[in-house]
Structure 1
Amino acid sequence: MNSSASNSLIGLICKANTLLGRIPENLVQLLARFSLAAIFWISGQTKVEGFALNIIDGTVELGWPRFAGSTLYLFREEYALPLIPVELAATLATTAEHLFPVLLLLGLATRFSALALLIMTLTIQLFVYPGAYPTHGIWATGLLFLMMRGAGTLSVDYWLKRRCGDCSP
Structure 2
Amino acid sequence: MNSIRKTFGLATRTYRGLDWLAPLGDLLLRLYVANVFWKAGLVKIQSWSSTLYLFSEEYKVPLLAPEIAAYMGTGVELFFPVLLAFGLAGRLAAFVLFVFNIIAVVSYPTLNAAGLADHQLWGLLLALLVLRGPGKLSLDHLLWPRLQKRVGA
TM over 0.5: yes
**One-letter identity of the residue aligned with 1:74:** L
Q: Decide which of 131, 136, 143 is 1:160's aligned counterpart.
A: 143
Q: Which residue of 2 aligns with 1:126?
A: 106
Structure 1 residue identity aligned to 2:88:
L
Which residue number corresponds to residue 50 of structure 2?
70
What residue number does 2:86 align with?
Answer: 106
Native 8 Å contact 2:26 2:134 kept in 1? yes
Structure 2 CA distance, aligned partners of 1:134 and 1:21?
33
Unaligned stretches of 5+ residues in structure 2: 1-6
Q: How does 1:12-161 map to 2 (within 5 A)?
A: 19=14, 22-23=17-18, 24-49=21-46, 68-128=48-108, 129=111, 131=113, 132-161=115-144
Over the matched positions of the two proteins, sequence identity in percent amounts to 36
For structure 1, the 5+ residue unaligned runs are: 1-10, 50-66
The one-letter amino acid of 1:148's match is: L
TM-score (norm 2): 0.79
Distance 2:85 2:50 in 1: 28
The C-alpha deviation readout for 1:15-39, integer Å capped at 9, x for no partner, is 7897477432211110111001100
Runs of 4 or more consecutive aligned structure 1 residues displaced over 2 Å after TM superposition:
15-23, 129-133, 164-167
The two structures have a TM-score, normalised by structure 1, of 0.72
Q: CA deviation at 1:81?
A: 1.8
Q: Which has the higher strand share?
A: 1
Aligned residues between the structures: 137
Q: What is the RMSD of the two structures over their aligned residues, measured on CA atoms?
A: 2.3
